[in-house]
Amino acid sequence: MRQKPKRLKKGDTIGIISPSGPFRDGQMEKAILFLEKLGLNYKLGQHASNRWGYLAGKDEERLADLHNMFANPEINGIICSRGGYGAARMTDKIDFELIRNNPKVFWGYSDITFLHTSFGQLSNLVTFHGPMLTSDVASADFAELSAKMFEQLFEPTPLVYDEKISELAVLSQGTTKAEVVGGNLSLLVQSIGTKFEIETSDKILLIEDIGEEPYRVDGMLNQLRQANKLERLAGVVIGDFADALSTGDKPSLTLEEVLDDYFKDRPYPVMKGFKMGHCQPHFAIPLGVEGELDTYSKTLRLSPGVE
């Protein structure tokens, strides 16, 4: 299993970076209030507020913030401001030894999936798939459960997801224990053919996405299938696929039909309905820890992500 970062303490300092897209004016102020309520200090990356089109600054600027936060001994954890697009543009220039030698809490999702995958595989670091500061924490619909998920950073806490949180549907029966990997489906697909290609053999794979019509989800799952990423899985956790309805009057499969076609009655357990991803509440989980998926009790149990 991967190296776990040290737990946070009240008074610790969080580094805020924008590895992908820029955030809007007024959002960061709300997010900072949330960090302060958690008892945390913060340091904004030098370039975290930059804008270069759809990117939060040039690649070298966003990369510098990432490196500086991991290298700075006064920074105890790193939370991304938002997703969007762009993290993968700089990943081939990341100093993975720096990250391996300075393990810290690293938190985000969506476009940050590319960094989760690369940090896990090349720096052996447990990272956290959870709601981000400006795109989630600062939004009016930020749920109480989403806020509560940050508590796992302060104390090694086993997590349990069951139907008390949301209704879960079984696509394939079974139980399994394995390392949990994954995140945003489109970013997992973007890793195929790169040196950061997602490793799925004998893993529990989490997938989620937003704004992708059923034919697009079909195409991405087909690419994973043809890249042999769905064959030797230990299990699959299907998170939220927000705004996945087909548009226009063209014939379409439903998202449910697509998911059934790829995952029904597989030789490993598969459940859907998890509130993980672009949704509220957003159940945050550590990636790279052992998970236990049990479709008979409809539970997902996860080991703590910090030590």
Asked whether the predicted pLDDT for residue 246 surpasses 90, the reply is no
Type and span of the H or E element at 116: helix 113-122
**CA atoms of 229 and 217, how far apart (whole Å):** 15
Higher pLDDT pick, 1 / 27: 27
pLDDT at residue 155, rounded to an integer: 98
Residues of the chain with CATH 3.50.30.60: 159-302
* SS3 letters across 33-88: HHHHHCCCEEEECCCCCCCECCECCCHHHHHHHHHHHHHCCCCCEEEECCCCCCHH
List the catalytic residues: 110, 208, 278
Model pLDDT for residues 271-282, shown as the tens digit of each residue: 999 999 999 999
Task: Please name which of 139, 86, 94, 100 lies closest in space to residue 2, comparing C-alpha atoms.
Answer: 100
CATH number of 159-302: 3.50.30.60
**CA atoms of 276 and 281, how far apart (whole Å):** 8
pLDDT at residue 261, rounded to an integer: 98
Q: Is 167 helix (H, G, I), strand (E, B) or coil?
A: coil
- Give the mean pLDDT of the chain: 97
* Backbone dihedral region for residue 78 (phi beyond 0: left; psi -120 to 50: alpha; all else: beta): beta
**Peptide bond preceding 19: is omega within 30 degrees of 0, i.e. cis?**
no
Model pLDDT for residues 66-120, shown as the tens digit of each residue: 999 999 999 999 999 999 999 999 999 999 999 999 999 999 999 999 999 999 9
pTM: 0.97
**CA atoms of 237 and 203, how far apart (whole Å):** 11
Model pLDDT for residues 23-79, shown as the tens digit of each residue: 988 899 999 999 999 999 999 999 999 999 999 999 999 999 999 999 999 999 999
Asked whether the predicted pLDDT for residue 248 surpasses 90, the reply is no
Asked whether the predicted pLDDT for residue 259 surpasses 90, the reply is yes
Q: Is 138 helix (H, G, I), strand (E, B) or coil?
A: coil
Q: Is 186 helix (H, G, I), strand (E, B) or coil?
A: helix
Residues of the chain with CATH 3.40.50.10740: 13-153
CATH number of 13-153: 3.40.50.10740
